[in-house]
């Protein structure tokens, strides 16, 4: 009789080193998520330990991955080795947000979830059939966090004219579940001829035709080439004439031109980065 009492008392004993602490959501094993795959030590489920809980601090917008591995060979459908994964958003384990059964093969779950908010979530691993046995590990990892900010730019007028003012509006939208403080939106505009050409060409084709756009490019190309040729010739005139001057005066002119170019380069670069 004493043996029978001892047997009954021990039948509900802890099934692994995590029990009985991980038998409730708040006492679940804490998982520290990274982008590298991590794996727990072996857990077991049986009639005395029907489920194991895990706690995960998740960030809104980040995707998390969980899958189990049955370490005793081939699992049996609804029998030994067949387990199930459920993810809850509250510590009472009543608000189910995701679940999976056989996504990883061999009747093992593969649960993927993108966090809707930044908070603690609770993962439950249980035998598919209550009271069945399962022995295995849980693997987990997270994807790299994506930016919750979306940005859009509007330019008015749609076809900018060289020498005229344009209005550029930058709009940023926070799609995440938490506020972002201390962020200053910034917009960098490179107002070079190529950028303006693309803007104007887009409007010409949209409001006209591809033929008209090709004509615009042809005219722009001829004008740009001619303009650069004329400017290069004008800049080269003083140097051509200086060949008739004394060597000392010619050297002074070349040194002045080089120094001015370097100083202007530094000034222009400072204006861009400041």
Query: Quick check: 10 pLDDT over 50?
Result: no
Given CATH 3.30.420.10, say whether it is the number of domain 14-142.
no
Distances from the Cα of 224 to the Cαs of 12, 14, 114, 120, 261, in angstroms? Answer: 87, 82, 52, 61, 22
Domain regions of the chain by residue span: 14-142, 147-176+188-217
Please state, in angstroms and rounded to a whole number, the distance separating the CA atoms of residues 160 and 68.
58
Please state, in angstroms and rounded to a whole number, the distance separating the CA atoms of residues 98 and 124.
11
- pLDDT confidence of residue 37: 94
Q: How confident is the model at residue 12 (pLDDT cuts 50, 70, 90)?
A: very low
Looking at the chain, the whole-number percentage of residues with pLDDT higher than 90 is: 41
Please state, in angstroms and rounded to a whole number, the distance separating the CA atoms of residues 64 and 179.
21
- pLDDT confidence of residue 147: 61
**Counting Cβ atoms within 10 Å, is residue 199 exposed (0-12), middle (13-18) or buried (19+)?**
middle
More confident call, 208 vs 57: 57
Rounded to 5°, the CA angle 227-228-232 comes to: 120
Average pLDDT score, the chain: 81
- pLDDT confidence of residue 269: 74
Q: Could you report the per-residue pLDDT of 24-58, keeping only the tens digit for each?
A: 999 999 999 999 999 999 999 999 899 999 999 99
Q: How confident is the model at residue 202 (pLDDT cuts 50, 70, 90)?
A: confident
Q: Could you report the per-residue pLDDT of 234-250, keeping only the tens digit for each?
A: 877 776 776 666 666 66
- pLDDT confidence of residue 17: 79
Query: Quick check: 9 pLDDT over 50?
Result: no
More confident call, 13 vs 272: 272
Q: Could you report the per-residue pLDDT of 86-144, keeping only the tens digit for each?
A: 999 999 999 999 999 999 999 999 999 999 999 999 999 999 999 899 999 999 999 87
Q: How confident is the model at residue 209 (pLDDT cuts 50, 70, 90)?
A: confident
Phi, psi of 262 (to 5 degrees): -65, -45
Q: Could you report the per-residue pLDDT of 158-190, keeping only the tens digit for each?
A: 776 655 677 778 787 776 655 666 666 666 655
Query: Quick check: 3 pLDDT over 60?
Result: no
């Amino acid at each position: 009789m004493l043996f029978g009492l001892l047997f009954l008392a021990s039948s509900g004993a802890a099934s692994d080193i995590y029990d009985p602490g991980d038998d409730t959501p708040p006492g679940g094993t804490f998982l520290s998520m990274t982008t590298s795959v991590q794996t727990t030590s072996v857990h077991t489920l049986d009639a005395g330990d029907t489920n194991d809980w895990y706690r995960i601090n998740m960030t809104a917008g980040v995707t998390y991955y969980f899958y189990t591995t049955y370490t005793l060979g081939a699992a049996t459908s609804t029998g030994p080795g067949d387990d199930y994964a459920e993810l809850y958003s509250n510590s009472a384990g009543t608000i189910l947000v995701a679940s999976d059964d056989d996504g990883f093969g061999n009747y093992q779950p593969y649960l993927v979830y993108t966090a809707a908010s930044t908070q603690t979530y609770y993962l439950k691993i249980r035998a598919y059939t209550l009271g069945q046995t399962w022995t295995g590990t849980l693997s987990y990892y997270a994807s790299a966090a994506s930016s919750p900010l979306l940005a859009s730019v509007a330019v008015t007028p749609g076809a900018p004219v060289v020498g005229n003012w344009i209005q550029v509006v930058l709009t940023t939208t926070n799609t995440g579940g938490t506020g972002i403080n201390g962020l200053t939106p910034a917009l960098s505009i490179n107002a070079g001829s190529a950028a303006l050409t693309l803007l104007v060409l887009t409007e010409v084709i949209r409001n006209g035709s591809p033929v008209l756009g090709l004509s615009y490019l042809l005219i722009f190309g001829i004008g740009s080439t001619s303009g650069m040729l004329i400017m290069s010739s004008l800049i080269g005139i003083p140097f051509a004439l200086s060949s008739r001057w004394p060597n000392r005066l010619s050297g002074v002119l070349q040194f002045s031109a080089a120094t001015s170019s370097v100083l202007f380069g530094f000034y222009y670069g400072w204006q861009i980065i400041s």
